Amino acid sequence: MAVANLWGMFMIVGFMGVGLVNIPRKIWMRSNIELEILEVEARASELKDRYHDTEAKISEYIQEFERFSLRAHPTDPEYPYCVIIKQENHETINKYGRCASMGRNEWVESSGQNYHSHPQSRDDKAISKNLTKLAKIRSKLVYRKLKLKYLTRAIKENTNAALLLQDIRESKQNNLRYVQSSVPFIARWPMWRRKATFFWYLYIRTYLYKIASVFLGLLGVLILQSEFIFTISPDFTFISLLFNNVFTTDYFVIELLSVGLVLYMCISIYLSVTNLKLFGIKSLRHAHSTTTGALVICGSQLCRLLIPLCYNFLAISNINEGTGFLAIMGKINAVPILGIAINQYIPFIVLLPAILTYTRAYGRIASLFKPDVDRRPDLSLLSQPSESVYEGRILISRQRAALERGQEPIV
């Protein structure tokens, strides 16, 4: 328990402050339509690169499978599994495989392999090794195909968002009160929807996002102040003052605030870790595009985080007894250093990552070692867009031209 608590506190100290700063900042940026256009244009370039990289990986795995399957004889133990993989990836093999575009003999000769047309005697170790290799190839193909499916959908959604935002901006510049567009899927909208979309993006959503950003920013300050002051005086943290002086008897409000604060702290940590792609944690994707491995990893990390996070929350709330959590889990004081000291002194450091994130120090340090590092769009990019923004703008203009001609979007 003490070691698990140490890991959880490391996650809280290292990543919660980053999320508490980044989440309100991203929401505030989305309230500005110019910044959002820059963001979707930059994302278009990034998605295109990831799409082609994924295609290259799929082609590599398919060719590896073809080299393997051409060696397999119908009497080999591996042959039935090759047939299964072929059936599962029939369309993928036809699209990316070299054997699909070349004759079998030509493919065999070009690969330089000595394929046998009759069974060969092999020991169980060699068979087991081949079956393990087949399983790995199949697993890689499943993951990459799922990723390609997700990227295809993400490119379409990002393109549609970019086209809509560009048309809204142009309509505003033309002093119109509705969305005017040459793109078929927007032009077919009824007039009431085009007017509603125009007012939503330029007025209603702008104020809602700003209000949400300010609220979450204040919530982040409340949490950071509580983590910082807890080491000095637990009685004067904001959360402690709320629970012990303001809502002393209203248990429904206390439970509601507790669930909301712990959930926001957990989301802040999760988003920070997934953005950095650390510890094998990958983002959860919609429309059944998340792999089973990513689900298991996210679930296991969440389970490892929740208990230390709850201990930390109870500590900054200055609640040391009388809760169901402490009644079941007990006080974490069995190991002096990993128990009490970790929970008491480490939260003091959580302010440092938050300050570095707020001042964008990480982006500045990274740009010294890697000049092509692309930071998130900010107000300075309105006058000097990055190279990825220009590339994405060209890609979106090509998509617009294709849609206006009635063609399928270009990936």
Tell me what pLDDT residue 368 has. 61
Residue with tokens 């206390």: 254
Pick from 69, 135, 143: nearest CA to 100: 69
Per cent of the chain over pLDDT 70 is 73
Residues 6 or more apart in contact with residue 373 via CB below 8 angstroms = 363, 366, 367
Looking at the predicted structure, is the pLDDT value of residue 16 above 80? yes
Residues 6 or more apart in contact with residue 18 via CB below 8 angstroms = 268, 272, 353, 354, 357
Neighbours of 53 (CB within 10 A): 13
Tell me what pLDDT residue 208 has. 95
24 token code pair: 């309100």
Tens digits of per-residue pLDDT, 84-140?
Answer: 888 888 888 888 776 544 444 444 444 444 444 444 556 778 888 888 888 898 888
161 token code pair: 């968002």
Contact in structure between 245 and 239 (CB atoms under 8 Å): no
Tell me what pLDDT residue 105 has. 47
| Main-chain dihedrals φ then ψ at residue 63, nearest 5 degrees | -65, -35
Contact in structure between 156 and 396 (CB atoms under 8 Å): no
Instruction: Write down the pTM of the prediction.
Output: 0.76
Contact in structure between 160 and 403 (CB atoms under 8 Å): no
Q: How far is CA 238 from CA 229, 234, 242, 247, 257, in A?
A: 9, 9, 6, 12, 12
Tell me what pLDDT residue 288 has. 63
Half-sphere exposure of 407 (CA within 13 A, CB side): 9
Tell me what pLDDT residue 168 has. 93
Query: What is the spatial distance between Cα 67 and Cα 88, in angstroms, rounded to a whole number?
Result: 17
Residue type, position 154, single letter: A
Tens digits of per-residue pLDDT, 304-349?
Answer: 777 778 877 887 887 766 677 666 666 655 545 445 555 566 666 7
Average pLDDT, the chain: 78
Tens digits of per-residue pLDDT, 198-217?
Answer: 999 999 999 999 999 999 99
Tens digits of per-residue pLDDT, 203-253?
Answer: 999 999 999 999 999 999 888 888 888 777 777 788 888 877 776 667 788
Long-range contacts made by residues 142-147, C-beta under 8 angstroms, separation at least 24? 142/291, 143/291, 143/293, 144/54, 144/57, 144/58, 144/61, 145/58, 145/89, 145/92, 146/289, 146/291, 147/54, 147/289
